[in-house]
Amino acid sequence: VEISKEELDQEDPYLHDGCRGGGPCSQQCRDTGSSYVCSCFVGYQLQPDGITCEDINECITGTHNCGIGQTCVNTLGSFRCQRDTSCGTGYELTDDSRCKDIDECETGTHNCPPDFICQNTPGSFRCRPKLQCMSGFIQDALGNCIDINECLSTNMPCPAGQICINTDGSFTCQRISPSCGRGYHLNEDGTRCVDVDECSSSNQPCGEGHICINAPGNYRCECKAGYTFDVISRTCIDINECRRYPGRLCAHKCENTPGSYYCTCTMGFKLSADGRSCEDLNECESNPCSQECANVYGSYQCYCRRGFQLSDIDGISCEDIDECALPTGGHICSFRCVNIPGSFQCTCPSTGYRLAPNARNCQDIDECVAESHNCSFNETCFNIQGGFRCLSLECPENYRKAGDTVRLEKTDTVRCIKSCRPNDVSCLLDPVHTISHTVISLPTFREFTRPEEIIFLRAITPTYPANQADIIFDITEGNLRDSFDIIKRYMDGMTVGVVRQVRPIIGPFHAILKLEMNYVMGGVVSHRNIVNVHIFVSEYWF
């Protein structure tokens, strides 16, 4: 039957309404005849697309009406005002801006009658009657005992298949026993018969490869997906999809399962989201290497940071390189090399030395210059390798220190010059003109192959006729184990006494060599200079 357009419009007046079914607008739609206009609920504003609506944040736009002491909290389509400091009824604000419950029972601000006991609760209080009701009853606000209808409680006091009957102060349960036919059983309440779902039982009534379909009072069996019906055995047997469609289902490997199959990938790849393709597995995301990892297609490569080397055993772990044990390790540090993970550190003896700016060599600390010594006012500080010595070097009688008589702040030599009193003939006839004290610091020569020249005494020939004075050098005291000797040498027109170390000395060691430089004329010593050399042999030398 043909129906005219006018009859169709009368039958469905909203047929041509552009807002039919809500239209394209997200909230409100108004049909204008030739088009439609979208609008939003209060608290929302229309977006530039003219269709969707977005919430107006009144707290940001300042269109809220929250007063002083209130914080504006934006909500969908509106807002709410939240107090900043008020705690509400039953609480008081403490000095540390915390809300503390008011105990109305303790402060006496409750309104409980004389027959009731006040019990404080958070933010309020309760009035409990002094008279208590028996079990099965509840007390009302006036203290009256009212029976509790246990049958109306939500936890169902009676077991399934029984109904609850309320009694005064208690209840009783009465059993309901209707009979059900085959394929049905009583529900949990025991009030009616419901269908037995044979398919949900664990013994699988249809057997392997079948689908059990439940029906009212009965069930039927069909083959599952992935199985086919065998007309000979009249059973459902599995379809081996991997054998039926070789190379068409999976990119790498296909594994058949009962009723289905799954794809797997070779090592270094993982299954894609489609369950068939394989993509490279970034093993580095699981941090298989102990330090650095570089992903490659189908595998990965471990490498180590500076100061470490890759283990030859597993190719994963990084082993520390002991720079101190390398063939060049003994020359890395001037004193001692300490291996640390990934690097090394040079150390110096615990006292008297500090590490140089290059972090490898050791520098002697001059305690005398740094004024870190503990020498007294009457002592002179002498710096030696790895330490210092405080020596009190005073001139003997009839001698005075060269230069000022005040204490020397820092020097390597103290020189005393003969200074006789008037008419002191014995002092004037004494051939010793000068007595000097000097301090030298020597290293421990561990590989001693030849004599080491350590002291040079330059003689100044006195004003005597030429070729008549002979200069004799001698070590008179302190030459322990004959470790030193002295020889005469002519250098640049001057006579020089050279003190040599001829035997190795293991430090720390301290000796005082007394050296004499005699000017002999006619077999008689006419002039003598004495030099006391304080020799300190250090254990370490850098």
CATH number 2.10.25.10 is the correct assignment for the domain at 284-320? yes
The CB density around residue 25, as the number of other CB atoms within 10 Å, is 20
How distant is the alpha carbon of residue 391 from its chain centre?
54
- Of 185, 235, 191, whose CA–CA distance to 209 is shortest? 235
CATH code: domain 220-281 is 2.10.25.10
Q: What is the pLDDT of residue 161?
A: 66
pLDDT at 130 over 60: yes
For 456-472, write each residue's pLDDT tens digit: 888 766 544 455 678 88
Query: Where would I find the H helices in 285-424?
Result: 367-370
pLDDT value at residue 13: 61
Size of the chain in residues: 542
Max mean pLDDT among 17-26, 164-173, 301-310, 511-520 falls in 301-310
Q: Is CATH 3.40.250.10 correct for 390-537?
A: no
Q: How many angstroms separate the CA atoms of 110 and 267, rounded?
A: 77
What CATH number labels 22-66? 2.10.25.10
Confidence of residue 265 (pLDDT cuts 50, 70, 90): very high
pLDDT (0 to 100) of residue 203: 75
Q: Does residue 278 have a pLDDT over 90?
A: yes
329-364: CATH superfamily? Laminin (2.10.25.10)
**CA–CA separation, 489 and 498 (whole Å):** 7
Q: What is the pLDDT of residue 157?
A: 82
**Mean pLDDT value across residues 321-341:** 83
Of 319, 320, 316, give the one whose Cα is nearest residue 288. 316
Please tell me the least confidently modeled range out of 116-120, 308-312, 406-410, 493-497.
406-410
CA 235 to chain centre: 63
What are the residue boundaries of the structural domains of the chain, listed by start? 22-66, 220-281, 284-320, 329-364, 390-537
Q: Give 410's pLDDT tier (boundaries 50, 70, 90).
A: very low
Question: Is residue 291 over pLDDT 50?
Answer: yes
Comparing 310 with 161, the larger pLDDT belongs to 310
Contacts of 352 by beta carbon, 8 Å cutoff, 6+ apart: 364, 365, 367, 385, 386, 387
Same fold, 329-364 and 390-537: no
Q: What is the pLDDT of residue 250?
A: 92
Predicted confidence (pLDDT) per residue in 512-540, tens digit:
888 888 888 878 888 888 898 888 887 77
* pLDDT at 56 (0 to 100): 92
Q: What is the mean pLDDT of residues 132-147?
A: 80
295 pLDDT more than 80: yes
Mean pLDDT, the chain, whole residue set: 83
Binning pLDDT at 50, 70 and 90, where does residue 96 land?
low
DSSP collapsed to 3 states, 353-388: EEECCCCCCEEECCHHHHCCCCCCCCCEEEEECCEE
